Amino acid sequence: MKMNRNKLGKMMSEFSQELGMPAQRKAGGLGRKMLWAAGSAAGFLLIRGLYNRMK
C-alpha cells in the first residue's frame, strides 16, 4: 500500500498539533540521513535478534 507522502505528512502534522506539539519544518538533509541510518541499524539488530532466537 503506497501512500502519498504529502498526504501522510499533513496527517502527521495535524496529529502532532492535536497533541500540543508544534509542527516542525522538514529536517535538513544530514538530519534525515542520520535518522534513516539509525532506523536501519535498529531494524537490522531486531531482525538479527529474531533470527538468532529462531536457531
53: Cβ contacts below 8 Å, ≥ 6 apart = none
Cβ neighbour number for residue 48 with a 10 Å cutoff: 10
pLDDT band at 42 (very low <50, low <70, confident <90, very high): very high
CA 9 and chain centroid, separation: 11
22: Cβ contacts below 8 Å, ≥ 6 apart = 16
State how far the Cα of 30 lies from the Cα of 3, in Å rounded to an integer.
Answer: 24
Q: Kindly report, residue by residue over 3-24, the tens digit of the pLDDT.
A: 677 777 777 777 777 777 666 6
Whether the predicted model's global pTM rises above the 0.85 cut: no
**What pLDDT is attached to residue 26?**
60
